[in-house]
C-alpha cells in the first residue's frame, strides 16, 4: 500500500480431494504461461514510474530477447491447470490447483490483484506445499479479463465491478466444491483487488455453510488506496504500452522492481501480456492482457468499505503489508482492539508474495496452523 501511495505522489510531482470439474487440464500449454502480471492496482503500487514510456513504439530500438528473462513453465508449481466452466456466469475460468493430501484437509484459495493472474501465487504455492508436506492445498483463480479466464458467449466480460468479481469467485468455489459438508476448510487469500474480493466473498461462503478458517489480505489498506486513486493516471503514464517480446516484459518488471524476484516474474508475467492483433507499426507485438487504465471505472468499488467488511468477517483475519503503511482510522481502532493480526514484510514491494514467496508461505502456514486447529469454542485470532 505504502509503495503505491509514494509512487503516485512521485509521479504527480516529477491429494484425495474431489476431482475438479471436467475441463482442459492443459499443463502442456504452460510453456506459454508467460504473461500474467500487469501491475496491480492499489495496494503497495503498480510498480515505480522508473522507466520511460515506450509509447512512440516506432522510434524504439528493438531489443533482442534476453534469455535470462525467458518464461518458466508453471507446471512444476501446481498439480493441475484446469478450465472451470461457469455457464451461468458465461465464463470459462482458469484455475491452478494442488489438492491437499486428505479430503478433509485445508485449501488456500488465492485471488490475484488487478492486472495480474493466478500465477503470481505460483512460487508461494510451491513453498506452502513444501512446508506442509502437501497437507495444505492451493487453489489459485484467474479473474475475468485476466490470465486464461475467457468469456464463453458473445456477451462481454468487461464488467469488473466488485459485485461481479465476487460472484465469479464464489461460483468457482461452489463449482469446484459443490457440497459444503465435504468441502475442505478454506483459507481465503487476496492480493490488492483480490483482497477486496475474498473479504466480500467470505460471508457468502459462510452463509452457504462452507468452512472458512481465515481471510488474509495482502498489501491493501482502504484509506491509502482511496488517497492514491487520483494520482493513478500519472503513475500509469510511466508504464510502457507494450513490449517487443515476452522476455522484455519480464525484464521490465524486474528492472523497475515491480517484481523483485526474477524467477517468479518469469512464471507470472507471460500471463499478463498477450500478442497484439494489430498490424499497425505503432502497436507493440505484445500488449497488456488487462490494461489497467481500462479498469479505472471500477477502482472505487473495489476499495470503498473494505476496512469495515474486513473487520466484520466472521473468521480469523490477517493483514500482510509490504511496509509500515498508515492504517486508516477504522483499521487502527480494530488493531488496538485485537480484531486482526498484522504482519509487515520488509524488503518487499507491492508484489510481496512474489518478491519473497518463502516468507509469505510461512506466514500463511502459521496463520492456518494457529487458527485451523483450535478446539471448537475457542475464539480464533482476530475474533472478538
Which run of H or of E encompasses 107?
Answer: strand 106-111
| Of 327, 227, 224, the residue nearest 1 (C-alpha) | 224
Cell numbers linked to 125: 504455492
Question: 231 an active-site residue?
Answer: no
Contact 182, 18 (CB under 8 A): yes
Question: 34 an active-site residue?
Answer: no
Q: Checking phi first, is residue 190 left (phi over 0); if not, alpha (psi -120 to 50) or beta?
A: beta
CA distance 339 to 101: 32
For the four alpha carbons of 366, 367, 370 and 373, in that order, the dihedral sign comes to negative
Q: Given the residues 219, 328, 355, 356, select the one marked as catalytic.
A: 219
Contact 309, 341 (CB under 8 A): no
Q: Given the residues 350, 353, 355, 356, select the one marked as catalytic.
A: 350
Q: Given the residues 120, 192, 224, 307, select the one marked as catalytic.
A: 192
Question: 350 an active-site residue?
Answer: yes
Q: Which residues contact 205 (CB under 8 A, 6 or more apart)?
A: 170, 173, 186, 188, 212
Contact 330, 308 (CB under 8 A): yes
Catalytic positions, written as ranges: 192, 219, 350
Amino acid at each position: 500500500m505504502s509503495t503505491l501511495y509514494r509512487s503516485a505522489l512521485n509521479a504527480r510531482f516529477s491429494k484425495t480431494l474431489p476431482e475438479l470439474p471436467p475441463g482442459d487440464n492443459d499443463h502442456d500449454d504452460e510453456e506459454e504461461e508467460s504473461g500474467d502480471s500487469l501491475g496491480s492496482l492499489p495496494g503497495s503500487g503498480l510498480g515505480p514510474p522508473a522507466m520511460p514510456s515506450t509509447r512512440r513504439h516506432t522510434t524504439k530500438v528493438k531489443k533482442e530477447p534476453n534469455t535470462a528473462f525467458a518464461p518458466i513453465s508453471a507446471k512444476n508449481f501446481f498439480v493441475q491447470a484446469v478450465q472451470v466452466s461457469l455457464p451461468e456466469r458465461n465464463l470459462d475460468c482458469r484455475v491452478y490447483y494442488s489438492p491437499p493430501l486428505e479430503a478433509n484437509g485445508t485449501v488456500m484459495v488465492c485471488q490475484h490483484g488487478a492486472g495480474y493472474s493466478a500465477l503470481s501465487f505460483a512460487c508461494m504455492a510451491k513453498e506452502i506445499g513444501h512446508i506442509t508436506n502437501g497437507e495444505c492445498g492451493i487453489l489459485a483463480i484467474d479473474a475475468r479479463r485476466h490470465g486464461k479466464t475467457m468469456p464463453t458467449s458473445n456477451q462481454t466480460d468487461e464488467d469488473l465491478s466488485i459485485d461481479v468479481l465476487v460472484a465469479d469467485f464464489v461460483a468457482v468455489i461452489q463449482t469446484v466444491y459443490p457440497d459444503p459438508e465435504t468441502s475442505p476448510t478454506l483459507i481465503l487469500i487476496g492480493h490488492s483487488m483480490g483482497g477486496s474480493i475474498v473479504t466480500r466473498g467470505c460471508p457468502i461462503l459462510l452463509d452457504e455453510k462452507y468452512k472458512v478458517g481465515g481471510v488474509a489480505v495482502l498489501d491493501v489498506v482502504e484509506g491509502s488506496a482511496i488517497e492514491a486513486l487520483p494520482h493513478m493516471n500519472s503513475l500509469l503514464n510511466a508504464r510502457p504500452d507494450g513490449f517487443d517480446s515476452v522476455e522484455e516484459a519480464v525484464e521490465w518488471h524486474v528492472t523497475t522492481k515491480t517484481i523483485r524476484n526474477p524467477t517468479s516474474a518469469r512464471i507470472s508475467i507471460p500471463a499478463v501480456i498477450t500478442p497484439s492483433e494489430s498490424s499497425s507499426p505503432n502497436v507493440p507485438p505484445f500488449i497488456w492482457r488487462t490494461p489497467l487504465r481500462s479498469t479505472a471505472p471500477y477502482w472505487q468499488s473495489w476499495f470503498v468499505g473494505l476496512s469495515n467488511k474486513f473487520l466484520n468477517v466472521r473468521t480469523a483475519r490477517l493483514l500482510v503489508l509490504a511496509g509500515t503503511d498508515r492504517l486508516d482510522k477504522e483499521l487502527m481502532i480494530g488493531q488496538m482492539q485485537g480484531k486482526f493480526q498484522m504482519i509487515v514484510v520488509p524488503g518487499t514491494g507491492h508484489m510481496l508474495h512474489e518478491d519473497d514467496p518463502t516468507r509469505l508461505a510461512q506466514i500463511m502456514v502459521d496463520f492456518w496452523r494457529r487458527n485451523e486447529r483450535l478446539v471448537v469454542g475457542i475464539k480464533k485470532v482476530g475474533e472478538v
